[in-house]
Structures are given as structure tokens and as C-alpha cells.
Amino acid sequence: LFAAETDFLKGVVAMDGLPAPDRVEVCFAGRSNVGKSSLINALTGRKGLARASNTPGRTQEINFFTTTNGPYLVDLPGYGYANAPVKVVEKWQRLLKSYLSGRQNLRRAFVLIDARHGVKTVDEDIMTLLDKSAVTFQAVLTKADKVKEKDREKVLAQVRKALSKHPAAFPELVLTSSDKGDGIETLRAIIATLD
């Protein structure tokens, strides 16, 4: 997952546009603005690779990134809230759900949870969809730099409790900061084992 080894492949707006499932892939799902695109940039060490912004609804397609000899990294549109017309949002949500439930080479979904806010109802819904689709998922807490040390354990406990109800959840969670670099090496190592 080194910078020189990753590249943008394509943005997909419908299931028939997905690249051939000829290698393993991992995806990054989560509420709008949780930090999916920023995390991909941190993992690959390429700041502007995935477009990130403070406006929820920045990523509107399923974006595929290639890694040499590694899995596809897949940046998904956010769910839960977005600054876009209802009809447009509904279209992404349908695509997101089709992708998460019907992609045979999807080895693991990383479900990003804001470390300040914990698991919300919309996250639970996605986790339930992943259970039904038998897609192993792993929670990644984002924006760890924005949480005070004393509040951290409370959120971690809430997330662990939520995960315990989901058979497809991988028990280990990862606390990250794309800004400060916390947890990035850990997550790279996890992804490397999934090839």
C-alpha cells in the first residue's frame, strides 16, 4: 500500500459498471462525512487520491483504487445524510446496498464510526445488511484526534456492545486518525493479511 503503488481506477454509478471481480477487495462504508475518503488517502499516503471535503455527500460514486499486488480499495458514498437532492441520495443508497450485498470478491467491509459519536441507527442498518449478506465487517473509529482521552472508553464500550449483536462483525476494532496517523499502520497490516 505504498503511495507509488496506488492509483484511481474508476468511479462507478451502477452495478454493471463494477470492474471484474478478479481480485480481492475491501471497502470503506460509513455515514456521510465520517472520514472514508480521508482514511483511504492516509492509508495510501496520497493526500489528494480520494476526494475529501467538509461537505457531507462529497463521494457520490463507488470509487475503485488499485494497489499493486494488493486488493482494490473501494471508497463508498456516505449514508445517513448528505447535501444533495433526495432523489440523487436515494439512487446512491440503492447502489450502495446492492454493492454491499452482492459483491463476491468483497473480503471485508470496514464500517467507519466517528469516535465522537459512536454507532448510530443508520450504522446498525448497514451492519444488519452485512450480516444478511455474510460480509465480514470491521469497525474503524475515525477522528480519534477529536476525542478527549476521558471520553474514549465510553465510545469504545458502546461500539463493542453494538458489534456484539452482529454475527458478521470482526471483534477487533481499530481507532484511527487520518490527520495524526494513529492506527493507520495497524489498518494497513490488517488489509495486507486479506490479499
Give me the residues that bind ligand GTP (CB under 6 A), please.
30, 32-38, 52-54, 56-59, 77-78, 142-143, 145-146, 177-179
Q: Which does 33 bind (CB under 5 to 8 A by kind): Mg ion, ligand GTP, none?
A: ligand GTP
Of 59, 60, 176, 177, the one binding Mg ion (CB under 5 A) is 59
CB of 34 to ligand GTP, least distance (A): 4
Question: Which grid coordinates belong to 182?
Answer: 494513529
Among 4, 38, 52, smallest CA distance to 184 is for: 38
Total residues at interface with Mg ion (CB under 5 A) = 4
Q: What is d(CA 174, CA 184) in angstroms, rounded to the nearest whole number?
A: 9
Residue 30 CB neighbours (<10 A): 25
Q: What is d(CA 125, CA 40) in angstroms, rounded to the nearest whole number?
A: 23
Q: Which does 145 bind (CB under 5 to 8 A by kind): ligand GTP, Mg ion, none?
A: ligand GTP
Of 6, 33, 37, 44, the one binding Mg ion (CB under 5 A) is 37
Binding site for Mg ion (CB under 5 A): 36-37, 58-59
